[in-house]
Structure 1
Amino acid sequence: MFKSSNPKITLINIQHLEMSALTVAMCWKLVTIKKDKLNAISVAVYHKPDSNECYHLRKTQQPPMCELNDDPDAAWYDFAFEVNASYFGESDGVMYEPLHACMHEVPMGETYRGSHWPEEWPDRVQKPPYWLNKSQIAISGKPTANDFIADYEHWKQVISKSYMSKLGINWSSLRNVMDMRATYGGFAAAVKDLNLWVLNVVNIDSPDTLPLIFERGLFGIYHDWCESFSTYPRTYDLLHADYLFSNLKSRCNIKSVMAEVDRILRPGGNLIARDESSMIMEIEKVLKSLHWEVNSTFTNKQEGIISECIDLDHRMNRINSNDLRVYDITIE
């Protein structure tokens, strides 16, 4: 160890040695280490093993390998609903899964998720993953791989034929976007060529499709929309909600959810909601009470609403004048 009279530097070197010993014990390979000459900060890059050979040859099993019944896919979030059992496996999720000081073996075999690298971008966002087999049944009741493709094609059509041209949204001005009920991440996949990013939210009372979203190379998170979302106010430029509110109405107050939508959407931002006609009408009433400008329509049994949250000064003027206008836009 490099000796120094500075206790802080000594501590850093001790921590580095401990980290190095741990990564060796975990079978991680040091790829490179670089040191900044100006501030002396070092960066190390490690490679996780892609086979179990090193794990089996370790002289001391520390850290230990996890027990066979320890589910590597168990999410930390509170999966309080039976429907949200592991969608691509057999085991249920658990409430606030604690960290375990153990390692899972590398999955081996063509049918196991994580057994080999995904397709290159952008193919990975468009093609069903190798581990989606024909025997798995999707949310729609179809084979999962077929449903994956159908979902992607559906959102490409909706976005190109309706969202881009008929909603009056300046898509070039958008950067932070959220799909509040993402399912497979098809909405985010369909806008992959735009200069924006999408946070895909998998609802906790829905099938656990987050592994599939990550496999596509997209961002995602679990959330219960009956609770506040952990983010700063006025963060997102656009929120997208596909049949979210009708799925929430049996569990929580829609007014509270809409208040949370108003909190996290920036002034001048947009909400696109597609839902049942009765729910669209309820949402529209709430948004008007929040002094939003609402554009809405219902066509061919498919309902939609586009709502624009105007800037604060304009909003205050409308509150004073009570001048709210409603526009009709066709959503296919």
Structure 2
Amino acid sequence: MLAMSLAPNDVHENQIQFALERGIPATLGVLGTRRLPYPSHSFEMAHCSRCRIDWLQRNGILLLEVDRVLRPGGYFVYSSPEAYALDPNNRKIWTQMSGLARRMCWRVASKKNQTVIWAKPLTNGCYMRREPGTLPPMCERDDDPDEAWNVPMKACLTPYSKRVNKVKGSELLRWPLRLTAPPPRLEELGISSNNFSEDNEIWHSRVTQYWKHMKSEIQKNSFRNVMDMSANLGGFAASLRNKDVWVMNVVPFTESGKLKVIYDRGLMGTIHNWCESFSTYPRTYDLLHAWLLLSQIEKQGCSLEDLLIEMDRILRPHGYAVCHHQRQSRCRKLHQEAFISAKVG
């Protein structure tokens, strides 16, 4: 099981530092006015412990954002005094929140003491049976639930596509088969199953070579926190499945649609523009993988020096960066240079 810890970068950011130092996936973020940097149907479960978030504000927009990123049939685990509902104030909040969840078609799967677990519906059936004018409303048909880079949140429910609704929720295989099988949303990107399988084979070969090159340098269990800075379809991370590591798959904002394939594979990741700094603590990753990222930054007209400084900030002492750079030679033919760099202590 992979669990990503998310904390607001204005209150609990030090907790994320502790998590990363323990080798646990974690990131800074804000659940406020814009969507979280994840496509729809990314997570099987969302968990909020000691949860004092005001989920009722702005017509329940924050809870609706949780609904967007949950898979069909996914769970929201909520632990808070409101669920205990002993005093009048907590009882009022609980009544309002449970009413909102019911209108969102969530059902209570379990409730005990201060913890309640809601389950999201598997199909559009409940949505279609709601009375006209019920709030929150359904999202407009032209709203893309997978857009997640600087997109304002909306106080509306996202129905399932016809494909998802037809099969009652999810077409995903069980883990670990889903890691290497062509995911159902692959066709939305116009990528064939054959191309997907070829990508898996290529990355398996490349990762094998990486480890051969680094064998004389690294010790056992040198790596835990790994970042793929230009993740494409997640082939690099999938090739590390036999290593005791977790990989933050970072998809460039210009290719954000690929992140849904990464989550369908059972991996995790986020969207980012590498012309900007990455929201994490200094010295929190053991290995950075930058496949063609240096070339892409140059094409965007951003500073290559700034990117390298940012990589140095993220990388731990004695950490490694695997880079693959494509550049123009004097005869104007493209050639590629691959290199592995180690950060000094």
Common fold: TM-score over 0.5: yes
Q: CA deviation at 1:207?
A: 5.9
1:62 to 126, 135, 144: 135
Secondary structure in 1 matching 2:274? coil
Q: TM-score, normalised by structure 2?
A: 0.68
Q: TM-score, normalised by structure 1?
A: 0.70
Letter matched to residue 343 of structure 2: C
* 1:153-302 map, 5 Å: 153-160=201-208, 162-167=209-214, 168-170=217-219, 172-206=221-255, 208-250=257-299, 251-276=301-326, 302=336
For residues 239-288 of structure 1, what are the alpha-carbon distances to aligned partners after superposition, in whole Å with 9 as ceiling and x for unaligned? 00101101111321111110001101011111011122679xxxxxxxxx
Secondary structure in 2 matching 1:172? coil
Task: Mark the CA change 1:188 to 1:225 in structure 2 (over 3 Å): closer, same or farther.
Answer: same
Q: Which has the higher contact order (CA 8 A, sep 6+)?
A: 2
Tell me if the contact between 2:185 and 2:261 (Cα under 8 Å) persists in the aligned partners: no
Could you say which residue in structure 1 is the equivalent of 2:96?
A: 18
- 2:135 & 2:255 partners in 1: Cα distance? 37
Considering fraction of residues, name the structure with more strand.
2
Q: CA deviation at 1:177?
A: 0.4
Tell me if the contact between 1:112 and 1:131 (Cα under 8 Å) persists in the aligned partners: no
Task: Mark the CA change 1:307 to 1:150 in structure 2 (over 3 Å): closer, same or farther.
Answer: same
Tell me if the contact between 1:177 and 1:199 (Cα under 8 Å) persists in the aligned partners: yes
Tell me if the contact between 2:164 and 2:171 (Cα under 8 Å) persists in the aligned partners: no
Tell me if the contact between 1:111 and 1:130 (Cα under 8 Å) persists in the aligned partners: no
Letter matched to residue 211 of structure 1: K
Q: CA RMSD in A?
A: 2.5
1:73 aligns with 2:146: yes
1:130 aligns with 2:184: yes
Task: Mark the CA change 1:309 to 1:278 in structure 2 (over 3 Å): closer, same or farther.
Answer: farther
2:109 to 20, 31, 37: 31
- 2:306 & 2:276 partners in 1: Cα distance? 9
Secondary structure in 2 matching 1:205? helix
Secondary structure in 1 matching 2:271? strand
Tell me if the contact between 1:175 and 1:196 (Cα under 8 Å) persists in the aligned partners: yes
Could you say which residue in structure 1 is the equivalent of 2:160?
A: 106
Q: CA deviation at 1:232?
A: 0.4
Aligned length: 252
1:310 aligns with 2:344: yes
Tell me if the contact between 2:256 and 2:271 (Cα under 8 Å) persists in the aligned partners: no
Task: Mark the CA change 1:224 to 1:179 in structure 2 (over 3 Å): closer, same or farther.
Answer: same
- 1:226 & 1:113 partners in 2: Cα distance? 41
Could you say which residue in structure 1 is the equivalent of 2:38?
A: none
For residues 131-188 of structure 1, what are the alpha-carbon distances to aligned partners after superposition, in whole Å with 9 as ceiling and x for unaligned? 434x9644xxxxx32221111111111112x112222333522110000000000000
Task: Mark the CA change 1:271 to 1:131 in structure 2 (over 3 Å): closer, same or farther.
Answer: closer
Identity of aligned residues (%): 38
Larger Rg: 1
- 2:161 & 2:270 partners in 1: Cα distance? 23
Letter matched to residue 16 of structure 1: W
Task: Mark the CA change 1:272 to 1:170 in structure 2 (over 3 Å): closer, same or farther.
Answer: farther
- 2:87 & 2:311 partners in 1: Cα distance? 47
